[in-house]
Amino acid sequence: MLRNVRILVSYDGSRFFGWQRQEGFWSVQEAIEEALLGLTGETVTVRGSGRTDAGVHALGQVANFHLDTDLTDNRLWHGLNGHLGRCGAVIRALQTCEGNFHAQRSACGKRYAYVIETARFQSPFTEDRAHFVRGDLNIGPMREAAAHFVGEHDFSCLVTTGSERASNVRRIFGVHLVERRTGIAIVVGGNGFLYNMVRTLAGTLIDVGLRRRRPESIPALLIGRERSAAGETGPAGGLYMISVQYPGGIDWVFRRDRTGEPI
Amino acid sequence: MLRNVRILVSYDGSRFFGWQRQEGFWSVQEAIEEALLGLTGETVTVRGSGRTDAGVHALGQVANFHLDTDLTDNRLWHGLNGHLGRCGAVIRALQTCEGNFHAQRSACGKRYAYVIETARFQSPFTEDRAHFVRGDLNIGPMREAAAHFVGEHDFSCLVTTGSERASNVRRIFGVHLVERRTGIAIVVGGNGFLYNMVRTLAGTLIDVGLRRRRPESIPALLIGRERSAAGETGPAGGLYMISVQYPGGIDWVFRRDRTGEPI
């Protein structure tokens, strides 16, 4: 009988063309499916909680798949990481779960971090892992601006055009700006995110931090629903999918590994 | 008239075959010399405070060179980083200094960090940037062992054989073990270091942390002066040259950039 298995995945986005399998492009999904095929001989489809674009990192992506193997969870976990090798993705936790768990449809929230490095020159250690901004960011006005995004809004102003959705209304639970030694991380939680939404939110807050845009302008930006009125879409390398929330939570505690968190 | 210029350099060691110029191998020294040639048209020799091996990182390597240009320090600094591009090395500070400053001979101390990641699986973000050790390290015994290395000793037991030195006596000022979220960093300061000395010190302390070696065995190890009695040489990717000390110190304060510090 097929069992339903869920995994917690960390990956360095610079080594993949995004999460989703695409003909001719190496993706995280394909890497995991190939590893499962090698380990169990089974051809499975790994479904993620959502796609991430090429270059976007993950510390806590969640995915699930159905397979037939009678390997224990522990062997499946270790075997899967063994097959993945040093490909840039690692399974931080794995557990057989209830049959109706669906990584995408069951999710009730997601958290992302957008990491900005501010310095005179970019560190050789953060290439493709942070968005480098020359000059100082004023965090006070950025926090003021961030607060305006919290709540339920139509986020059309932050969506890259061309994406088709029934509705651009989403709820942002919180936007927190964390001061770091070499910059700022913008941590955003919400019930769902539109295409490029976090990266454009970050670009808009950077404008505020550089005093090119006033915090008080944000409500009008949201009401206007014009993508062209918002800031630039920040580069993919600054974005990290931190975690996915599910009703009741997932208790990874016995299996979860510390692997992964550089930020 | 030639001026003497000193620089503070940060580099990702995984992108170079070490600091020192060698025919047929790309080195940090060659990268900086090429950038200076491109910027000023002058062929200069850049002297570092010491070599670092292939794969070893630096956050605060110091070097100096003599050149003739009348570019201001600030323009030289920015121009040099512009020519270096995203090569994996960045100049964090630059200043014209006294004519007799010599990055190697004037140095009176150096500090290194050896970064160990302990987890069940290595993070995709620390490949080549930390030494991955499976299993937990017992930091108490490691600290006990580390204390035995402090002071003036003949460190023959930690030197890779084949290196020729008049004396293997060095003074270690301190060995500090810093607990990090995903492992331990061993920070070592001393008046000079022998070939592979810090990496072998780290390998020996890891043995202690894994309870394969007792802290009380260190004094006999030092007295025995047998390399084969010490631990393995830890991989290059875990090692970071943190800083170089000079009598009276160097006041980089007006020019120094935050660029570089991932650890």
Identity of the amino acid at B61? Q
- The residues near A26 (Cβ < 8 Å, ≥ 6 apart) are A15, A16, A17
A-chain CB neighbours of B88 within 8 Å are: 124
Q: Which two tokens stand for residue A53?
A: 């674009």
Q: Does residue B50 register a pLDDT over 90?
A: yes
**Cα–Cα distances in angstroms (integers) from residue A28 to residues A79, A107, A189, B71, in the given order:** 17, 20, 23, 48
- For A251, phi then psi, to 5°, come to -95, 90
Q: Does residue B254 register a pLDDT over 90?
A: no
Q: Nearest-CA neighbor of B202 among B213, B192, B191? A: B213
Residues of chain A with CATH 3.30.70.660: 109-242
Nearest CB partner across the interface for A89, out of B87, B120, B124: B124
Contact B121 A90 (CB under 8 A): yes
Q: Are B129 and B234 in contact (CB under 8 A)?
A: no
Residues paired with residue B89 on neighbouring β-strands, in sequence order: B11
* Overall fold of domain B109-242: Alpha-Beta Plaits (3.30.70)
Ramachandran sector of residue B215 (left: φ over 0; alpha: ψ -120 to 50; beta: rest): alpha
pLDDT digits (tens, 9 = 90+) for B64-107: 999 999 999 999 999 999 999 999 999 999 999 999 999 999 99
R_g (Cα) of chain A, nearest Å = 19
Nearest CB partner across the interface for A125, out of B12, B121, B122: B12
The model's pTM: 0.91
**Cα–Cα distances in angstroms (integers) from residue B236 to residues A15, B17, B116, in the given order:** 22, 11, 11
Query: ipTM for the complex?
Result: 0.89
Let me know how long chain A is. 263
In this prediction, residue B162 has a pLDDT band, given cuts at 50, 70 and 90, of low
**Cα–Cα distances in angstroms (integers) from residue A87 to residues A17, A94, A238, in the given order:** 13, 18, 20
Other Cβ atoms less than 10 A from the Cβ of B241: the count is 28
* Overall fold of domain A3-106: Alpha-Beta Plaits (3.30.70)
In this prediction, residue B229 has a pLDDT band, given cuts at 50, 70 and 90, of very high
* pLDDT at residue A251, rounded to an integer: 80
Interface residue A88 vs chain B (CB under 8 A):
yes
pLDDT digits (tens, 9 = 90+) for A148-187: 999 999 999 999 876 566 899 999 999 999 998 889 999 9
Low-confidence ranges of chain A (pLDDT < 70): 162-165, 253-263
Contact A120 B257 (CB under 8 A): yes
* pLDDT at residue B61, rounded to an integer: 97
* pLDDT at residue B120, rounded to an integer: 85
* pLDDT at residue A248, rounded to an integer: 86
B-chain CB neighbours of A127 within 8 Å are: 86
* pLDDT at residue B251, rounded to an integer: 80
* pLDDT at residue A263, rounded to an integer: 46
Interface residue A192 vs chain B (CB under 8 A):
no
* pLDDT at residue A135, rounded to an integer: 82
Residues of chain A with CATH 3.30.70.580: 3-106
Q: Clarify whether B73 is annotated catalytic.
A: no
* pLDDT at residue A161, rounded to an integer: 73
* pLDDT at residue B257, rounded to an integer: 61
| Candidates B7, B77, B259, partner chain A, best to mutate (most A CBs within 10 A) | B259
- CA A236 – CA B248 distance, rounded (Å): 44
Contact B182 A12 (CB under 8 A): no
Q: Nearest-CA neighbor of B236 among B81, B153, B114? A: B114
Nearest-Cα residue of chain A relative to residue B78: A121
∠ CA(A229), CA(A230), CA(A235), 5° rounding? 140
- For A16, phi then psi, to 5°, come to -135, 155
Q: Angle between the B73-84 and B28-40 helix axes, to the nearest 10 degrees? A: 120
- The residues near A101 (Cβ < 8 Å, ≥ 6 apart) are A4, A6, A64, A246
* pLDDT at residue A151, rounded to an integer: 97
